[in-house]
Chain A
């Protein structure tokens, strides 16, 4: 081949590259953190500190994205999942969020955990216009697209859950006398507000006793005794696992027999009901949105089988009975769906647009009938729950899937 022909071939090749390149430019759109080969996703988890038990969620997500990458990624792009520890401390969360956005240059921050940590970074994320997507907290304030268009929750918020209990009580026990035990923090107060809003005008007459407790208290026995003295016949138990187990035990011990509503946060059979004793927990009512891995009825469920296969193959060191792994799996699937919908338009704006246009999306770890729906004015992906009653050694679902959408 002469030099001239070589040059000609080279020139032609160059022209071809240039035209295909410009064609690609026309359809592909990227913001910082996304390229033809990679999508950078940031995450903040309490791997250390008081809430380190939740760290399992981040580890599950990392394992899930690795599985997705091994299978070719999302639309040909690999997910680069960068997860940092904030030890559940808000100032540290701010530092890590800034590191992710400004130093690692991620496309978005996904499933950062904890109400205080997310509150601390919310303003920053919204001023930088970087998505703070599917935050791992049940606070109601994440559903506020008007003031915070770059922040979105995932799990049903606390207020929806107690609203559902309120609906049930008004329908089935209109003359109930209600005693409420709640943890004295934003989580407890959010639940309490949902209950009062749900009961509406009857709240003042129906709630006969309210007792709050601090997480630093060693036991809540005295609170339970006080609540019993109010002669209530409905007990609403808003407590994290350790205290919920104490409450179930104490209620049985002092022979109080109210209709016991237990918040979903503490509905785990393994970490709450079993330590409290199955015999003490009969007929407790709670609500759920995810399938419980310790529940035998899902053993042959295709969705849960997929989850078990994932746990066995990709995350063998994780405990499938820990509720955190199911959550991590489900929320990671939701993100992958959003990224798929984005196609080649991986701008931050489009991420939020696609996240806000999920329609009847299901990850198969959700209970049958529960669907993820979002819209430009609805930033609460999961807002349905189903009631369940504890029978024998497991939860039995009953009634229909109930919706309650609450804005922040």
Chain B
């Protein structure tokens, strides 16, 4: 069987999602946005910190969603891009004394380059093979960060402590609240850009590749370019999330970016609904809060409880939050008719 035939007979990796279904309606978006802006005014700093982490992981999950849901490529290596972003920001802030806000675009660009380059060899692989190749990247990253050669910059196994920025212009705001709104602004920017990307020519090219590579190339889509581009964009966004994460947590160390993180992000994507960008925030909430709930149920068996909860989600709503949203929409429509 030739390679071409193999691709044709292979079932599509990801179920096709029409591009309109990838976003939320205006009304819902505004409600969510209002909630995200208003809630921090009424809660403790700790909750604000958790919400900041929620946005950061949501960005990372969304980046993976663009790659998998958009262009149909798997990645278990997102933790590596996240780590590169985190370290880029941390090193620039602590060694070069750069302003935290300026380090983020640099982290994004570095990771875009890194992801684009990694996308080149990854072109030859697809499906589970690609997942394994990226898995290798994720397992290698913590050790690379420990290498003695980079130790002067990375702090080796000890990691780097990052200083948390104060609110600028003397705004009467705690550090946590400022960082939250800063993260929120960055997240909204990236979300809008991602939505536009997927609606654009490039986005259509991604989806064409996802649905049928041969048909896409027959239509004149440069498959190699767009596949690597998807990797680059995804890595770039993950890098920005990593940089924000480093600032919020105030610490980077190799042990923070293990394969566990990559799997969590993957989990977040599946729970949120593959190919549905707003689901990213639901997926992110799942990976942040459900382990805490599991721990609350049983300390000794927290892993098992988490497993059971995850199993229930996958079993009852295999398409994740997207499925729930669709059901809710249908119910609302029925209600209106009556």
Contacts and interface: CB of A to CB of B under 8 A. Distances in A.
Interface of A: 47-49, 59, 83-85, 87-91, 94-95, 98-99, 101-103, 116, 119-120, 122-124, 184-186, 189, 214, 216
A186 B260 contact: no
Nearest to A184: B146
Contacts of B161: 119, 122-123
A408 to B, nearest CB: 12
Contact of B255 (A90, A94, A214): A90
A333 B159 CA distance: 32
B121 interface: no
B260 A120 contact: no
B157 A185 contact: yes
Interface stretch (B41-49, B87-95, B112-120, B323-331): B41-49
Contacts of B97: none
A317 to B, nearest CB: 9
Contact of B256 (A59, A90, A185, A214): A90
B249 A85 contact: no
Contacts of B291: 85, 87
8 contacts: A47-B299, A47-B302, A59-B300, A90-B255, A91-B53, A91-B245, A95-B50, A184-B146
Contacts of B50: 95
Given A91-B251, A120-B250, 13 more contacts: A47-B300, A87-B291, A89-B255, A90-B256, A94-B251, A99-B46, A116-B256, A119-B251, A120-B256, A123-B161, A185-B157, A186-B158, A214-B143
A116 B49 contact: no
A85 B299 contact: yes
Nearest to A84: B295
Given A90-B251, A95-B50, A123-B251, A83 B299 contact: yes
B303 interface: yes
B260 A89 contact: yes
B156 interface: yes
A157 B50 CA distance: 34
B253 A103 contact: no
Interface of B: 44-47, 49-50, 53, 139, 143, 146, 156-159, 161, 245, 249-251, 253, 255-256, 258, 260, 291, 295, 299-300, 302-303
A216 B143 contact: yes
Contacts of A99: 46
Those 7 A-B pairs whose CB atoms lie nearest each other, nearest first: A102-B46, A120-B251, A186-B157, A90-B256, A116-B255, A185-B157, A91-B249
A131 B44 CA distance: 21
Contact of B44 (A48, A49, A84, A102): A102
Contacts of A59: 300
Most buried by A among B53, B159, B255: B255
Contacts of B139: 216
Contacts of A184: 146
B44 A103 contact: yes
Contacts of B45: 98, 102
Contacts of B299: 47, 83, 85
B178 to A, nearest CB: 16
Contacts of A49: 260
A103 B50 CA distance: 11
A120 B160 CA distance: 9
B143 A89 contact: no
A186 B156 contact: yes
A20 to B, nearest CB: 34
A108 B253 CA distance: 24
Given A102-B44, A185-B157, A116 B295 contact: no
B44 A119 contact: no
Contacts of B300: 47, 59
A359 to B, nearest CB: 32
A83 B249 CA distance: 20
A47 B304 CA distance: 12
B253 A120 contact: yes
B44 A94 contact: no
Nearest to A52: B303
B197 to A, nearest CB: 28
A98 B49 contact: yes
B94 to A, nearest CB: 12
Contacts of B250: 94, 120, 123-124
Nearest to A62: B299
B249 A119 contact: no
B10 to A, nearest CB: 33
B146 A119 contact: no
Residue among B53, B250, B258 with the highest chain A CB neighbour number at 10 A: B250
Nearest to B50: A95
Contact of A95 (B53, B258, B260): B53
A59 B303 CA distance: 16
A90 B146 CA distance: 15
A212 to B, nearest CB: 9
